[in-house]
Structure 1
């Protein structure tokens, strides 16, 4: 019993929206993508070192807990935004 499709992924042409997406972007957006990914990548690398002192202090104080959760959320966003950095 096989689940193979008779069509390969190469035979399916991208939709017009997908093929024209890169050319439709504003030049400013294209010029900022690389530096934004670079910065996001390195923020995602550095933020866990900021988490460590907060965890060592303990999360009993609501302010420390809120700060930790905010930094964790920023870290997740930075990971998402910087995941494509240096992939050619």
Structure 2
């Protein structure tokens, strides 16, 4: 005979010590996901306006090319991270 209880006893520590750390990391990831998507979404909207002065000045200077490339890379990352913001 087995003694299965319909009630779970969550006060008992897990038999695997890594399970608690895994739950903590999942909870932390869920709590960071929303604000990160929010910031990335709005950064993806705002960053193209920073590109305009660089393009108006021209990309003849290597520093301007580097700045433009970094901004473009940041914009791509922001688009990727923020694309699911506020979707049901």
User: TM > 0.5 between the two?
Assistant: yes
Equivalent residue, structure 2, for 1:43: 43
Q: Highest Rg: 1 or 2?
A: 2
Aligned residues: 66
Write the deviation string for residues 43-87 of structure 1: whole angstroms up to 9, x where unpaired.
Answer: 000000000000000000000000000000000000000000000
Equivalent residue, structure 2, for 1:78: 78
Offset of residue 26 of structure 1: 1.4
Equivalent residue, structure 2, for 1:65: 65
CA distance in 2 between partners of 1:87 and 1:71 (Å): 26
TM-score with structure 2 length normalisation?
0.71
Offset of residue 25 of structure 1: 5.7
State yes or no: 1:56 paired with 2:56. Answer: yes
Moved over 3 A (4+): none
TM-score with structure 1 length normalisation?
0.71
Structure 1 residue runs of 5 or longer lacking an equivalent are 1-22
SS of 1:26's equivalent?
helix
CA distance in 2 between partners of 1:75 and 1:26 (Å): 27
Structure 2 residue runs of 5 or longer lacking an equivalent are 1-22
